Amino acid sequence: MLKTKICEVLGIDYPIIQGGMAWVSDSSLAAAVSEAGGLGVIAAGNAPSDWVENEILKAQDITNKPFGVNIMLLSPFVDDVVNVVLKHGVKVVTTGAGNPGKYMKDFKSIGAKVIPVMPSVALAKRMEDIGADAVIAEGMESGGHIGELTTMVIVPQIVDALSIPVIAAGGIADGRGLIAALALGAEGVQMGTRFVASKECSIVEAYKEAIVKAKDRDTVVTGRTTGHPVRILKNKLAREFMKLEANGATKEELEKFGEGKLRLAAREGDIQNGSVMAGQIAGLIKDIKPVKEIMEDIIKEAQAVIKKVNGVVEE
Ligand code: TUI
């Protein structure tokens, strides 16, 4: 057993949330994580609302346990996606890449728990003030769209500034990371990259294998010049993007170049010309396993870490 208050709030066994990952976390991955005792999350990403609706229905077919939907607030379909989430009584909503304030009342009206992902203290505090049930404090170790601060630095500062539960994200993939997050005052963790390298993740094997092969320094942050920094694995696309940035390409040119590249990698399997989003912790991930095994191994390791720490404290 390894329970925190957030487990009760979300109706889950372990304080582990699967990060919403566009083009990656569909009903297959989300339902597997929920079945294994965590909180699975379907990512709406930039997908149209009928795709999201279909994934919600598929997840409800696979599991009776609670799952969430992640709403990417830069999506052109965000209003329609919100309506689908409301229509189907989704239990938990996580958000990324913006401020979900506009939709907070709607989510609350159906009793959904709202957990925005936030990269800084001021933004996280604002979320508490407008009624968020918890926040995910995300460090820049994460894959995808990131902020400026590391997990080690942002988690305890958000914990101290807020009274709602804080979930730590960024650079966490095992039991050591889970206990470290609890030590920083978090009530749980969100993991993305670890769950990409799972059997139930429905993307192409080449993407998962790229994560397994990655070493500690194999990610890079692109897009700092556009105001949308995104961490990806180093590949041909990353080199081309950085070259364009160094040569002073405009925001519009870079956005045009980046369009469709995550889908190209995750669904079409072109991991050289596509965008292989992954966190720095990819270097720690050595295998592709069933979600249940990932979860059980993390809990076992976390319990062993606690025993070890107890031993040190008692000496
Ligand atoms: O959202 C993420 N990670 C993502 S979204 C994504 S899809 C995408 N691809 C290319 C460009 C943009 C998006 C891939 N990965 N993580 C959560 C997260 N949210 N990280 C940072 C933020 C964030 C940033 C600004 C949250 C709030 C925020 O507020 C700005 C404001 O002032 O409202």
Pocket flag, ligand 1, residue 96 (CB < 6 Å): yes
Ligand 1, atom 27, lies closest to the CA of 98
Ligand 1, atom 4, lies closest to the CA of 145
Phi, psi of 255 (to 5 degrees): -65, -40
279 C-alpha to center of ligand 1: Å? 14
Cβ density class 251-277: b for 16+ within 10 Å, e for less: eeebeeebeebbbbbbeeebbeebbbb
End-to-end CA distance of the chain: 25
CATH number of the domain encompassing residue 50: 3.20.20.70
What residues make up the domain containing 132? 5-202+282-314
- Asked whether residue 209 is assigned to any structural domain, the reply reads no
- Asked whether residue 207 is assigned to any structural domain, the reply reads no
**pLDDT at 277 (0 to 100):** 98
**pLDDT at 1 (0 to 100):** 83
Check whether residue 270 and residue 297 sit in a common domain. Answer: no
146 C-alpha to center of ligand 1: Å? 6
User: Residue 109 in contact with residue 140, Cβ under 8 Å?
Assistant: no
d(CA 214, CA 79): 37
- Asked whether residue 21 is assigned to any structural domain, the reply reads yes
Pocket flag, ligand 1, residue 170 (CB < 6 Å): no
Q: Are strands 219-222 and 230-233 parallel, antiparallel or unpaired?
A: antiparallel
d(CA 234, CA 45): 22
Check whether residue 9 and residue 112 sit in a common domain. Answer: yes
- Asked whether residue 92 is assigned to any structural domain, the reply reads yes
Check whether residue 125 and residue 259 sit in a common domain. Answer: no
Task: Please list the helix, strand and coil fractions of the chain in percent, rounded to the nearest 5, in that order.
Answer: 45, 15, 35
d(CA 131, CA 107): 10
Written as tens digits, the pLDDT of the chain (315 aa) is 899 999 999 999 999 999 999 999 999 999 999 999 999 999 999 999 999 999 999 999 999 999 999 999 999 999 999 999 999 999 999 999 999 999 999 999 999 999 999 999 999 999 999 999 999 999 999 999 999 999 999 999 999 999 999 999 999 999 999 999 999 999 999 999 999 999 999 999 999 999 999 999 999 999 999 999 999 999 999 999 999 999 999 999 999 999 999 999 999 999 999 999 999 999 999 999 999 999 999 999 999 999 999 888 866
**pLDDT at 208 (0 to 100):** 98
- Asked whether residue 102 is assigned to any structural domain, the reply reads yes
Sheet holding 230-233, edge to edge: 144-145, 230-233, 219-222
**pLDDT at 201 (0 to 100):** 98
DSSP string across 60-90 = HHH-SS-EEEEEETT-TTHHHHHHHHHHTT-
Pocket flag, ligand 1, residue 98 (CB < 6 Å): yes
Q: Which tokens sit at 43?
A: 């990512």
The owner of tokens 């590949």 is 235
98 C-alpha to center of ligand 1: Å? 6
CA 73 to chain centre: 14
Tally of structural domains, the chain = 2
**pLDDT at 84 (0 to 100):** 98
74 C-alpha to center of ligand 1: Å? 8
Q: Are strands 144-145 and 230-233 parallel, antiparallel or unpaired?
A: antiparallel
Check whether residue 184 and residue 112 sit in a common domain. Answer: yes
Label each residue of 84-125 as H, E or C: HHHHCCCCEEEEECCCCHHHHHHHHHCCCEEEEEECCHHHHH
- 236 C-beta neighbours (distance < 10 Å), count: 12
Check whether residue 118 and residue 235 sit in a common domain. Answer: no
- Asked whether residue 117 is assigned to any structural domain, the reply reads yes
178: helix, coil or strand? Answer: helix
- Asked whether residue 25 is assigned to any structural domain, the reply reads yes
Check whether residue 124 and residue 186 sit in a common domain. Answer: yes
Q: DSSP assignment, residue 279?
A: -
Q: DSSP assignment, residue 219?
A: E
Check whether residue 73 and residue 120 sit in a common domain. Answer: yes
Check whether residue 248 and residue 310 sit in a common domain. Answer: no
Check whether residue 149 and residue 232 sit in a common domain. Answer: no
Check whether residue 84 and residue 173 sit in a common domain. Answer: yes
209: helix, coil or strand? Answer: helix
d(CA 128, CA 156): 16
- Asked whether residue 208 is assigned to any structural domain, the reply reads no
Check whether residue 149 and residue 272 sit in a common domain. Answer: no
Check whether residue 11 and residue 40 sit in a common domain. Answer: yes
117 C-alpha to center of ligand 1: Å? 8
d(CA 161, CA 163): 7
User: Residue 185 in contact with residue 156, Cβ under 8 Å?
Assistant: yes
Of ligand 1's listed atoms, the one at least distance from the Cα of 144 is 15
